[in-house]
Amino acid sequence: MKREEQVRLTKQKLLTAADQLIVKEGYAAVSVERITKLAGVSKGTFYTYFKKKGDLMIALSQHRFAAINDQIPLLVNGDPVEGIRHYLMSYLKVVTDQSTLAMVRSWLRFILDPSNGQIG
């Protein structure tokens, strides 16, 4: 297996493990150690891909909303009201999925927590 593919697979294992744990238990309850154990990688491997647990949370959010974020450039073409409506409906479709809703709740708590330096 090529190095690039191994890197992608390892990062995906970490994201999948974190996603499962955070959706089930919430961001604050999940440690890096538990994420790496579920992913089947060492704790040091986690820090190869993410500087801190918060970076992983941001990556999860980007992954969850990538499809709708890709639609943002389409908002400038055609009827702006229809473009915004389509974007918001796509957003609601993602958020109303129960696992995504749990992730959004954890993400909001993470973003709004002043101790993690993410506000602003």
Statement: the pTM of the whole predicted model exceeds 0.75: no
**pLDDT per position as a tens digit, 51-96:** 998 888 888 877 777 777 777 777 777 787 887 888 788 877 776 7
Instruction: Name which residue leads in pLDDT, 32 or 119.
Output: 32
Q: So what's the pLDDT on residue 24?
A: 85
Q: What is the DSSP string of 6-56?
A: HHHHHHHHHHHHHHHHHHHH-TTT--HHHHHHHHTS-HHHHHHH-SSHHHH
3: number of CA atoms within 13 Å, CB side?
0
Q: So what's the pLDDT on residue 119?
A: 45
Q: So what's the pLDDT on residue 77?
A: 74
Q: Which two tokens stand for residue 45?
A: 């491997």
